[in-house]
Every structure is written in C-alpha cells, then in structure tokens.
Structure 1
Amino acid sequence: MIKRNLEAEIKKRISQSPAVAILGPRQAGKTTLAKNLASDDGQYVYLDMENPADQARLADAYAYLSQYEDSLVIIDEIQLMPSLFSILRPLIDANRKPGRFVLLGSASPLLVRGVSESLAGRISYRELTPVGITELENEFNHREHWFKGGFPEALLAVDDENSKAWLNDFIRSYVERDLAMLFGVALSPVTLRNFWSMLAHSNGNLLNAEVFARSLGVSATTVMKYLDFLEGGYMVRRLQPWFVNAKKRLVKSPKTYIRDTGILHRLLNIPSFDALLGHPVAGSSWEGYVVEQIYQTKPAHLDLFFYRTQAGAECDLVLVDGIRPVVCIEIKLSNVPSVSRGFLSCIDDLQPDRSYIVVPEGESYPTAHNITVIGLRELLSTLI
C-alpha cells in the first residue's frame, strides 16, 4: 500500500477539528485513506451516499447521526446529499469534540459551498490528489508514473494493458455518468467526450473558448460551463497568468492542462511510453506532469501561475508568495537544455529569488545566468 503524504496532516486535523473534509477526484484513494486513519483510532461508521441503503439510514439524519457521538463517522460522496451540511452544524455545535466527522467529496464547488454556508469555523479540509512521484519509492521509474498517471488502480495494474483498460473505463464512466451525477446537471456525453479530447490535444496551451465552441457546434458559454465541471471534478487545471505589472502587455488567458497524465495519454490514445516520446504532445505532457507534481508538494503559502508577455518574455511556472514572485521555472523534456531568451526576459521582469530549468533527471548544475538546471525529484525535495 502506498503511504500518502497527507496521512500525518489529516490525522492531526482529525485530532483537532470536529469535522474534516477530504476533497479530490474519484478513485484517488480518499476512502481508503479515511478508513485506514479511522481504524487506527478505533471504531468508525462508514456511509456512502451512492448506496441507497445508506441514504435510507439518513432519512432522519439528525436522529441517526446523534447515536454516534463517540464514533468517527465517514460520509462518502457527501456532495450528493448537500442537505446534510445544515444537519451537521447543530450536531457539531452540540458536541464540538474533535474527530466526529470525515466528509469525502469528489466535486469541489458543491462541497466547498456547503462548507462555507453551514460549517464555517467547524471544519478543516484538504485536497487528496492522485498519487504523486514523491509518494513512491525512489526506485520507482518516473517514466512509468508519467505515462500511467497517479490513479492507484492504473499505476499499480499488473501490466500496461490492464492499466489502459482501467483508464478507458474511468473516462467512459466519467463522461456517461459521473460528472452529471456529481453536479446534478444534464450533460451531453458526446459533446463532453469530444471537448475533453480537444483539451487533451491542446494540453498546456492558452484557452480559446470560441475556437472550441466553433469546433463543437455549441456556444462559448457552454464550453466554459463544461470546463467548469471538469475543473470542479479535478480533471482539468486552469493555470492563470501572473499580471501585476500594468506597464507590460501581458497575455491574460489561462492555460489548461489535463491534470492526470494517464488520462491525458488515454484521451490521445498513446499506446506506450516509447510512442509518447515521439508524439507531438510529449513536451506539453511533461510540462503538465511537472506542474501537477509541484502543485502536490509546494508549501501552502505559494500559488502557481505562468507568465507571458506580448514582447516574448515567457515562464512556464511562477511560484508566488502573496504578490511577490519567488521562483521562476522553465520546464524542459531534454536533460541538456538551453536557456531561452524568453526565460531570461521573464527573470529580468520578475526578479525572483530563485530560477530553475526542470529536466527529467540528472544532477543539478548552475548556468551562466544564475539559473539552476535541476531534476524533477531534486526540485520537489527542495520545495518540500
């Protein structure tokens, strides 16, 4: 079993807060993590809001949950029953002892809205992503993790064919059933699948909703709605541009990435790692992979952006503390990269504390421009 980086922190929060919410995509390991932590501390009750029997138990939710003041109650897929939030508030107020509820959710907007409306000041929440490279043993080949992605069932499958079959089934289920159910809306599976595939082909590029709308035969408003749902279900990342300097002519459209590279490669039907290296999307796939690994390991006070000006200054990733850029990162698939003029212009504009070119592997070394070329694992350990 893979030990998750969040285990210690979530266990600490359970010991301090009456309710803890663990958010993240389906099949990322939220239920396994919650049950493992709960079993370490004693008895727990598990309720799954996709299970009709568990829904029936909560017909009178206040009376049912009141029985378990001395047990940890895990409620899975709680966004499917948002009325529970208003019921949990008086239960917690009547007995604010730590470790009463662990709430698991796969749709961030609904869950966060429920928290803000009903449980403000009563709950602590964290996002559990698919498995990151820092959660794997050093001997684990980063190429395999990059190609298969971080969902445990795909990553730990007995062979590549089983991994690809699981990812195909996940994508199909997500398109045909899960996304509409998570958000309680009617969606067109064909349009959603086509849009998701188009996002995969433009992975790491600037978002242009009008282009997608014309290709799909829908409105730009519909495109943005579908993008919101995919982002809210933790499938897509919108990386916003950094623009504080009003004197520069800056690009202000976000970039989009498929967050899990295993899903990205299935949407693009890339059959093997060797085929990936020869595919036009290889560079942007590596870029998205690095962005996601940095997101998983960065300190909480740092936010992620990219930087691009009309004059040609460009940086794949800017780590910002408040309003101050502290780290600029260029992401290269080559282990012997050159420093681009656009990256040098970016450093000159932003004046970060540190600048890196991230490569797949190898020992770090400085360049003539005070930029450090560094392997991904070493960079992540530096950030941690």
Structure 2
Amino acid sequence: MDASLLPRHLKAELIEALRSARVVNIIGPRQVGKTTLVRDLLDVGKFVTLDEENVLAAMEADPVGQIDALVSEAGETPLIIDEAQRSKRLALAIKKIVDERRRMGQFILTGSSNVFTSAHVADSLAGRVQTLTMLPMSVAEISQKGPARILDWANRAERPTLADLPMPDKVSRSTYVDIMLAGGYPEIRSLEDRRRRRRYRDYVDTIVERDVADILEIRRSDAMRRLIDQLAARIANELNVQDLSGKIGIQRKTMDTYLDVLTKLALLVRLPAWTSGEVGRDIRHPKIHIVDTGIVAALRNLTSASFAIDANPTGLGAILEAFVHNELQKSLPYQKSDWRLYHWRHQRGPEIDIVAEADRTLVGFEMKAGATVDSNDFRHLKWFRDEGPGKTWNVVGIVIYLGDRPLSFGPKLFALPLSAFWAFSQMTD
C-alpha cells in the first residue's frame, strides 16, 4: 500500500461488514475515494472494474460465467467489483452465487451513491447485502485524526463538560476559510485555487453527462446543470421547488425528478425539518445542502478574497453551516447512538441551523462566522430549550464559531471552535 495514502475511517466499518454480510456495497459520489479504499487501502481481494469496456461487455454477455471465474481467482478473499452500477445483469448473477455459497465477505461492490437502491437490485440482494456510504474526506481524515465524536459527547448520561473534550487546534480565520473552500475530494482539494475550481466544475459536468445518464434519460442537460448552479447559490436555505422551477424554466414534475436524481447521486442533501408536533407552528420545508463546500465555492466562484475582513461577510455563514452539516454527516457512522440530522424553524422567527436527535436528546447547532461569541448567540437555543418544543427533551446547545477556545455559557450550552471537528485522536469506547 502506498504510504502516502490518507487512511479513511470507513475502512474499519468495511472490515467489520465483511465479517457479517455476504455482499458489501459501498456507495458514494464519484472521486471520493471508493476505488482507492477497496483496491489500495484494504489491500486484499481480487479487483476488477467495469469502467473497462471489455470487462463490462464480457460481464453483460455472460454474467454468471464471468463471476464464477473471477470468484475462483479470488479464492477465500473478496471479489471487488468497481463501478458495479454499469452492469444491468450483475445483481442476479451475484444473488445466484451468494445463495449457493453462504460464506461472509464474498463480494465488495462500489457504485455511484444510491444507484443500487433501484427496485430490481434491492429485491435481488435483500438480506444479503450491507450498504456503506462513502462521502468526501472529512478534515479529521485529512488531518489523520479520529472521527468527530461531538454528538456522543453531548449525549453523555451526565451533563457534558468541556473537560471531556479533546483540546482543539488553534486555527486562524483565514485557514478556516481555506479549509472550507478546498473541500474534501482527495485528488482536487490540494490543487492551486484556480485549477481546483476548474476541476470541481468539470466534476459537476461529468456527473450531469455520465452519472445522471446512468439512471435517467434526460433531454435537457443544460437545465440540470443550471439547477445545480441554483442549488449551490441556495445552500443552507429552505427548498422552494416552485421558485426553482421558474428560475430553471422546467415543470414542477420534472424538477422533482431532477432533485430526486441528484439526491440519489449524493450530490444534493435535503435536510428535513424537525417537528415538535405543535400543529401549524413548525416550518416543515427541508433545507438544501450540497455534499461538499469545495464544489459550492467553485460553482459560485468564491475565493479566500471573497471572505476577506473588508468583504461582505454574509455569504460565509451559509458556507460554514453547510460545512458543519457535512462534517456531522460524515461522523454519524462512528457515534455510539443512531443520530438523525434536521433543521428547525418556528413560524414566529426562532430557528436552529442543525438539530441532531437520538435517545430523547436533541443537540442544536448554531453557526457564528466570526472569531468571537457571546450570550446573544444562544438566544434561539435557549428559547427552544426553555420555552419552545425542547422543554420535554434533553437539549444541548452548541454554537460553532471561528475562534480557538471551547467555552461554556451555562448548563449544556457551549461554544466550540470549528477545529473541534478534527480534535479527536482516536475512536473511544
């Protein structure tokens, strides 16, 4: 294995999944590192890719025969099939083999996100496959640190304290901005600023021209491309499908289809609204997030100069919120509890950027795109906890800011620097 390859947190999940499932399916956007994980970091098994046209043609012509031959070559190690979504006949051939041979860890499949949830594939492999999702690299992975366990820290049986958190790095505002603009795609993030933006835009073009075409016959790729640009401009805002349809010039039904496809391809995340059950009081529209802030920066032509001290600061808040959402999403598989992410807004004004829910605990996250924080930044969190729908829950409020010190603002109210997301040295029990 190349010593320069950065370790991925998902490797431990993959190894565990191989012990408990006959087929492990790794889904995620293209170029996030799926192939590197299964071919180089795992360093075991027989690897084939259906990106090679001759291999794909042979697989389509005689899938059972090809799989049988490849399984024999793999022996007791997994057969790894990269870009598996390109074959329409692969699933049934794999089903036949795993039904006959009940050994765990027979196959590892990789593909572009949720393509494998299509009905015929899901039915073919139901009960035999474990699916793992791979996203762009977290800053913890880039820094070779452990996954961010902030949610489990907040969900301690006793009141969480700052003494139980690892001390985060001291990071300057400009470095924070650079981290958010770079994104998490392994081969793109370290490029020079202009080349990086160009590569991210080319990446989006490839998704539209190739990945979308794999699951949807699309007549107007220009409309899909304009939609992605509009989504990038609206990150961390509530989704207004009618308004988007008018901007793009397509019908509502077509817009719904396009949004579903982008969600399946893991480019778009629609963050649902948390509801309290108080009829008519909670706003229920989902928020929009794109899977990586590097893509957002490229599509909006944002650079570090866009967020200089003398520039308009309003745009940085949305980028920060999207970045925190994405880092939280990447951390979810490594928490002890099963967390779900939402946002919340009351019709009379109070709102919380991100709400994480597990075990009758709610962790609310608010963003402060500055290096200082004060008690006024907690006003919505306090109202939610003391007077709003959080009164019957265990609520922990956290303001994420661009400073360098964890701070306490009263019982279960904390200000954490953004660098807290890459402060954990290892997995803890």
Q: TM-score, normalised by structure 1?
A: 0.91
Alignment of 1:119-134 (within 5 A): 119-134=125-140
Is structure 2 residue 330 aligned with structure 1 residue 296?
yes
Is the CA contact (8 Å cut-off) linking 2:140 and 2:421 kept in structure 1?
no
Structure 2: give runs of 5+ residues left out of the alignment: 146-168
Cα distance between partner residues in 1 of 2:367 and 2:58: 51
Aligned to 1:28: 32
Q: Number of matched residues?
A: 377
Cα distance between partner residues in 1 of 2:11 and 2:83: 20
Alignment of 1:335-350 (within 5 A): 335-337=371-373, 338-348=376-386, 349-350=389-390
Cα distance between partner residues in 1 of 2:23 and 2:284: 38
Task: State the shift of 1:222 in Å.
Answer: 1.5
Of residues 73, 87, 90, the one that matches 1:84 is 90
Of residues 336, 355, 374, the one that matches 2:416 is 374
Cα distance between partner residues in 2 of 1:342 and 1:46: 52
Of residues 3, 6, 10, the one that matches 1:6 is 10
Alignment of 1:1-384 (within 5 A): 1-39=5-43, 41=44, 43-48=45-50, 50-58=51-59, 59-67=61-69, 68-69=71-72, 70=75, 71-111=77-117, 113-137=119-143, 141-157=175-191, 159-175=192-208, 177-247=209-279, 249-270=281-302, 272-277=303-308, 278=311, 280-298=314-332, 299=335, 301-321=338-358, 324-337=360-373, 338-348=376-386, 349-350=389-390, 351-368=393-410, 370-378=412-420
Is the CA contact (8 Å cut-off) linking 1:149 and 1:262 kept in structure 2?
yes
Distance 1:353 1:109, change over 3 A: same
Cα distance between partner residues in 1 of 2:251 and 2:116: 24
Is the CA contact (8 Å cut-off) linking 2:197 and 2:299 kept in structure 1?
no
DSSP-derived class of the 1:134 partner: helix
Is the CA contact (8 Å cut-off) linking 1:133 and 1:142 kept in structure 2?
no
Distance 1:370 1:321, change over 3 A: closer
Distance 1:187 1:361, change over 3 A: farther
Q: TM-score, normalised by structure 2?
A: 0.82
Q: After the TM superposition, which of the residue ranges 146-155 and 344-353 deviates more from structure 2?
A: 344-353
Cα distance between partner residues in 2 of 1:9 and 1:202: 33
Identity of aligned residues (%): 24
Q: Any idea what the Cα deviations from partners look like across 1:150-182, whole Å, max 9, x if unmatched?
A: 11111132x22332221122122223x123323
Cα distance between partner residues in 1 of 2:418 and 2:349: 26
Cα distance between partner residues in 1 of 2:285 and 2:130: 32
Cα distance between partner residues in 1 of 2:395 and 2:423: 17
Distance 1:187 1:340, change over 3 A: farther
Task: State the shift of 1:321 in Å.
Answer: 1.4
Distance 1:15 1:369, change over 3 A: closer
Is the CA contact (8 Å cut-off) linking 1:319 and 1:328 kept in structure 2?
yes
DSSP-derived class of the 1:154 partner: coil
Cα distance between partner residues in 2 of 1:367 and 1:379: 20
Task: State the shift of 1:104 in Å.
Answer: 0.5
Q: After the TM superposition, which of the residue ranges 112-121 and 94-103 deviates more from structure 2?
A: 112-121
Structure with more relative contact order (C-alpha pairs < 8 Å, separation 6 or more) = 2
DSSP-derived class of the 1:347 partner: helix
DSSP-derived class of the 1:168 partner: helix
Cα distance between partner residues in 2 of 1:182 and 1:243: 36
Q: Say what the alpha-carbon RMSD is for the aligned residues.
A: 2.3
Task: State the shift of 1:44 in Å.
Answer: 0.8
Is the CA contact (8 Å cut-off) linking 1:364 and 1:372 kept in structure 2?
yes
